[in-house]
Structure 1
Amino acid sequence: MAFQIPRGTQDILPGEVERWQYIENTAREICKLYQYKEIRTPVFEHTELFQRGVGESTDIVQKEMYTFQDRKGRNITLRPEGTASTVRAFVEKKLYAQPAQPTKLYYIGPMFRYERPQTGRFRQFVQFGVEALGSSNPAMDAEVISLAMELYRSVGLKKLKLIINSLGDADSRKAHKEALIAHFEPRIGEFCSDCQKRLTQNPLRILDCKTDRDHELMKTAPSIMDYLNDESRAYFEKVQAYLTDLGIDFTVDPNLVRGLDYYNHTAFEIMSDAEGFGAITTLCGGGRYNGLVQEIGGPETPGIGFALSIERLLAALDAEGVELPVDQSIDCFVVTLGDKPKDRSVSLVYELRKAGLTAEKDYDDKKMKAQFKAADRFNARYVAVLGEDELEKNMISVKNMESGEQKEISLQDLAAYIKG
């Protein structure tokens, strides 16, 4: 039987994995600048965490979760997103009691959703996200958005579009919810079954429906902007002012609705404007969730965050034709002629590696010409040739592959010479 990879997953092989490492390292460096610390949570959690944390009315909970029973009959779910797990850890480990607040965290890891695979979307995908817990200051909203924008710009993306909206506080959302129900209820039978369920559960999610997005009632639906109270309006205006101060362009879209139930106040998405990127242009989404910590059993704690797919980021890079500056060269390839030099090359390569240099040698008894070809494949900066005569004199011939300069030096000076 020939085994094949499950649909919606991928093998990331050498040559490609270096691009992933570059992005992940860039994300970690930016988080260090912003003082976000890494958190690592389990790949699976109790199902109820996502039902309560993500929301019963969401597509993720209703259609996309990988859920199973363990041997004790407990319902377990492979995590479909990172926020609920991060907040669970924040509550369980009492991070809210630490003196340094707000608590600023980031994560990078695999998530799992059963959805139709398409360009940049997989059933197992890698998500990078940040969560800032403990501050209700609109400056924190601007910081989180700026961090996401900085990552995309740092890897070379230029064709970006930031969309923001306010979902308002609890009172604003209640008034808007009532208006949406009154608007859609008389003709809800014309909508898909999902929208019919959402009418009473969370009518705001109707606006996010892909099936009925062209229905005439969508265009005339009440705007949240008309129901923001003074406090919510002032908060959103402050967020916009801070983004302007940071030089970050944005567009306000009153119809922007995030697909998770826990959002309030600021919601945002970053999209790719690159030609040929695809019908789904969203790269990143996030927003404020001031009630989520309490929903998961913690104290009243405001929060805001975002998450992005590394796969989508890579697809956007490809669409813009951006080449990442990934160095796949090595410092030195050791070519040997004869049995004794071949034996000596084992410890010689080890010495180079101990000195902090990337080094490789032939392990297949290739001829000299084939060894030089191997050095080319490794894109070696230097090729060191060790023959019987050189070994007898404790010398080695070293060639700079860029300049073509060739020099004979003592074996013990090889590492220093390459470093110099």
Structure 2
Amino acid sequence: MLIFAVILFVITYILFFVFSNHKHLIALGSALLFVLVGTMPIEGILAAVDWNIILMLFGIMGVVNLFIESGMPTLIADKLIEKSKNFKWTIIYLAMFAGLVSAFVDNVATVVIIAPIAIMICKKLNVSPVAPVIAIALSSNLEGAATLVGDTTAIILGSALNMTFFDFFWYLERPGLFFIIQIALVAFTAVLYYLFRKQNEPIDISLNGDKVKVKTFFPTVLLGAIIVSLVISSFIQSDFALLNGLICVAWFLVGLIYQSIRDKSVREVIPHIKEIDYQTLLILIGLFIIIESIGYAGVIDAIGQFFVSVSSGNLFLLYTLIVFISVIVSAFIDNIPYVATMLPIIAVVSTALGVDPTVLYFGLLSGATLGGNFTPIGASANIAALGILKKEGYTVSLKTYLKLSVPTTIVTVLTGYVLIWLTFGL
């Protein structure tokens, strides 16, 4: 059973890479096979899925869609552009703004919001938007690890460690991931400044065209309400496992009710429900079952023991392996299935060594999140950015992408690697 589980697991990952547009079908199909062959008992299927994560993502995705449609992100971006001295600073401001938004909003959604603004400015200045749009995608990926709601991988890790929203800011009486990622963002910005140092074309604020008018501020309030509610819930001692998930869904429902009242039509809320990224939710459901299945088959224990033997029980070496293996893997494979797979492995390894797993968990999240920036296929935000550019008639070569991604990723990965170890490893 162990050999079969390993083979099916490897095939699943290969199919993820080859058929990237159908990962949800592959995940569910693989999960079904594990059940049919008896690796995963039928009675354990529902318990294998972390429904709290699924509900959290559903609610947050819904509110984010309302937030984007309201026009608020575009208005903020316009204000940043007005403060810009020249094209170089406009791009830096947009990239930093993308990072700020991405700390609370899905990375792909962030790119969809901000990339068109950069393209519009570039067209007016008669310069290529390729590098600026790539910079926006890279910054969005970087900040995904900054908060509990920043990215799917952060939500998965936070749930596994029972982390509160505040734990990303202050954890175990030490500065949390948020501050580490912000220092990495400073390093990222320094590299960006160097790469764009010659782009000094002046910006005329009239290039923005008509000023964006925010349709409603209510979605912005909802997004803040989710964050505040998650913070408050972290202080509530409750054995109810779905608390955070239901909080997020409840606020989304409030948003839908408000939308229907505002538009005087219940039908107007249907598109907002349809815009939820159901494929990601299905991928996660399938992955939860797959990971539980390989756990039953003994694969996770075997991989854990492999890491222990390779590192010879040395925590620093183990941390280093996890970070840089995560960087390499995430450069080519979606980091969601990778992080979901590695979490139980780290639990096994830390138990075997009798060490605090915090530094390993944070190293995993940092490596997997930042590593996705290395290649055009390493993160969904990268794929979305290149797709937007392609629609505008710009084909991005691998060489062009790597010129920007390699230096920024190396700097941010090394910054996170050093700071996480100094903060949680010593």
Q: TM-score, normalised by structure 2?
A: 0.25
- Determine which structure has greater relative contact order: mean sequence separation of CA pairs < 8 Å that are 6+ residues apart, divided by chain length: 2
- Rg bigger for which structure? 1
Q: TM-score, normalised by structure 1?
A: 0.25
Higher-strand-fraction structure: 1
Higher-helix-fraction structure: 2
